[in-house]
Structure 1
Amino acid sequence: MSGAAAMAAAVDWSEAPEGATHYCNGWLWPWLRLRDGVLQFHHFTAGWTILLLLEGESLADIISRTVERPTTPAAWNGEGLPPVGTACEYHMGNKWRRVVIAAHVKQPAGKAAVFEFIDGNDWSSSPSPTRFRPIRTPEQIAAEEREDAIRKITHLLGEKTGTADSNRSRAEVLHDAGYRLVEGGAQ
């Protein structure tokens, strides 16, 4: 990840004053606001104050040394690469891990999402949209677990009676009544 992308990911925008559009690391008053071509800095007691440019310095020079506030990502429906700033899950090996998308970069094969794992300080990237999914709600997780358990009970009933398809409704009743499969048999 480039230095600029790492710095962008490190800015805690929750600490920014209302209206801040840029951040400049190392400045006494690092929070900046660009409005109608006028750059202002935020003084903790005076509020927003116009930033006077030094001779030979341009607005573009200053802006090039700042981190622009990221836009709030639109709600992601799970199609395509997740937008920058999105918290989602990434399929790695045989499990899903939570990540935050930090950037999109161009690669020879196309665009890739650069992301940080929430459970550690590891960074990675992937060009494959199918390896990302929105974070599931507790209700979705419970529904998936229920469906998996019913599928297993249906299969077990089918093995015993030879009619797996007709036993789905029975498996649902058993599951919803609290019966669970345990290793080596039913409970």
Structure 2
Amino acid sequence: MKYEITKGSEKDFEGAPEWARFRTSSYFFEGFSEGLRWGYIPSGCNFVSNHGVWRNAESPFQHHINNVIAERRPITEPVWDGEDLPPVGSTFDMRLKPNGLWLETKLIAAGQEQIIYFREGMEFAGHKNNYEFRPIRSPEDVAKDEAIESMAEIIEYRTGCSPKPLARWLYEAGYRKME
């Protein structure tokens, strides 16, 4: 997860748990907290102190703090659904239309018509309408596509009909190639 530091510095969060949003101190401890309310670490929030004591959502106590040393907030990444242009800074698969090779790409900048992207260690630019974009596929998506392609080749060879729709239906119905 990425964070924006709103008080203190990145160094203040060295060794902090992923969930930590605050670095705090009191008369009795210094530690990291996931929540803070009216000068207290409320019950129901995780924290870990310099004594190595973990408290969790089951803790019935509220702990008074004297000082907020540092604070950070999570930065939510935009979720791209595969439609239109991916958000700048995101990584995705891209290919040259109509049937180029899909390659992992990072979008660096996008204007009205042109895009600048990074792939295979180099920076490129081009007109966005010349490319197709898709989210990076999971291993399950890759296996599904390979199975459909394999079935489509068999169907086309044996029947001469349009193989892809039939292969997709077979796959979605649970049919798999036996090794």
Greater RCO (Cα-Cα under 8 Å, separation 6 or more): 2
TM-score (norm 1): 0.46
Write 1 or 2 for the structure with the bigger share of helix.
Answer: 1
TM-score (norm 2): 0.47
